[in-house]
Amino acid sequence: MTATDFEFRHRLWFFWGIYRAAFLCYGFDHTSAGEALVRLLVGPQRNPAQERYALHAVYGAGAGLVVASGRTLHFSLHLLRV
């Protein structure tokens, strides 16, 4: 799927709008996405230590996905140079 010329020329405003909408959502709900995901997956915990460890696991998994996507990008660019 390729971007149209309009989307390509105005991509900065598209990115800005997405980030702005995400930050405006904190005006309605001050819960972070990680906390909401932990509560959805494991339910409300009475032990704050368990909730903290689950939150660390969610953020660790997210960091792992970022590293994996970066490695994939690096290796695909390396293959294009060869």
* Same domain as 55, residue 15: no
Angle at the Cα of 61 (from 42 to 45), degrees rounded to 5?
20
Residue range 55-82, pLDDT digits in tens: 999 999 999 999 999 999 998 888 877 5
How many structural domains are present in the chain? Answer: 2
* Same domain as 50, residue 22: no
| Amino acid of residue 15 | F
Contact 55, 39 (CB under 8 A): no
In the structure, what pLDDT confidence band is assigned to residue 27 with cuts at 50, 70 and 90? confident
| Residue-number span of the structural domain to which 17 is assigned | 1-30
Tell me the whole-structure pTM to 2 decimals: 0.63
